């Protein structure tokens, strides 16, 4: 079966509407599948309401559904499903929203959804995710930028791609900030995990995976790290299939 992934760095560019910049990519991705109704995973959205976690999930579902409706699609949220594992098996496409990666991974392990999603995608279920939703397509979540607000069962993720993604990748240090740069944090990761590529996925860019082909889309370059090597920059149109082990 064909593996189809859309791994989006961020939902919203500064000054734009929610999910504005990737709408054409999302539309094209779904139109190729013929799917109109998408299962949505809201578990990273922990602070979208001041009335608690359940209301945050409800608010997230509503927010994403408004955008998808404008594109001619519909989403339904897994948090309302009585049998989440069955809902994945029955889904025609799946979208995983951004937010806190630790809470997202915590919930996916708790509900035994990590294995269910992985198997479904490997059998052909189209998968899209932005920010945390892109990060969990990797072998682990250990290149997230998020605060560990909850402790997952483990840090293992979907392994839909064999490399790691750092969403929202930034090059420069923040003015007046004395802490590590993003590159320094990735270098720390590579010292301990020195056989894994890490991709710094800048905002306004995404990765499209079709079987054994991967393509960078957007208007900014993609920075690839490997232990013992200088970081390399790749532009849209460059061949980056090596990230899939090709």
Q: What is the distance of C-alpha 35 from the center of its chain?
A: 20
Residue 50 a catalytic site member: no
Please tell me whether residue 20 adopts helix, strand or coil conformation. Answer: coil
Active-site residue identified among 77, 79, 146, 208: 146
Given the residues 9, 11, 131, 208, the one annotated as active site: 131
Six-digit token pair at 186? 């990735």
Give percent helix, percent strand, percent coil of the chain, each to the nearest 5. Answer: 30, 20, 50
Asked if residue 207 lies in contact with residue 243, where contact means CB atoms within 8 angstroms, the answer is no
Contact of 35 with 235, CB cutoff 8 Å: no
Tell me how far CA of residue 156 lies from CA of 64, 71, 137, 232, in angstroms.
26, 33, 10, 26
Q: Are 218 and 204 in contact (CB under 8 A)?
A: yes
Active site annotation includes 171:
no
CA distance 161 to 139: 7
Dist CA 227 CA 164 (whole Å): 13
115 φ/ψ angles, rounded to the nearest 5 degrees:
-65, -40
Q: Residue 207 pairs with which residues in a beta bridge? A: 7, 216
131 catalytic per annotation: yes
Annotated catalytic residue within 56, 168, 211, 241 = 168
Q: Which residues are catalytic?
A: 131, 146, 168
């Amino acid at each position: 079966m064909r593996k189809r992934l859309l791994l989006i760095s961020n939902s919203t560019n500064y000054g734009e509407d929610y999910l504005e910049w990737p709408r054409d990519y999302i539309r094209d991705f779904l139109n190729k599948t013929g799917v109109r109704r998408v299962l949505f995973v809201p578990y990273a959205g922990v602070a979208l309401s001041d009335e608690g976690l359940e209301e945050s999930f409800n608010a997230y579902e509503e927010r994403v559904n408004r955008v998808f409706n404008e594109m001619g699609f519909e989403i339904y949220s897994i948090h309302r499903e009585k049998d989440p594992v069955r809902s994945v098996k029955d889904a025609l496409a799946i979208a995983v929203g951004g937010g806190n990666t630790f809470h997202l991974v915590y919930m996916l392990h708790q509900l035994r959804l990590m294995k269910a999603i992985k198997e479904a995608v490997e059998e052909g279920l189209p998968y899209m995710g932005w920010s945390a939703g892109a990060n969990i397509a990797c072998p682990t979540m250990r290149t997230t930028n998020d605060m560990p607000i909850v402790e997952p069962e483990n840090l293992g993720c979907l392994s839909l791609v064999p490399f790691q993604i750092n969403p929202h990748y930034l090059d420069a240090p923040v003015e007046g900030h004395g802490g590590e740069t993003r590159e320094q944090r990735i270098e720390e990761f590579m010292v301990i995990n020195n056989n894994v590529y890490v991709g710094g996925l800048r905002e306004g860019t995404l990765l499209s995976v079709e079987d054994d082909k991967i393509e960078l889309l957007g208007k900014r370059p993609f920075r690839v790290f490997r232990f013992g090597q200088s970081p390399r920059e790749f532009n849209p149109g460059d061949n980056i299939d090596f990230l899939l082990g090709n």
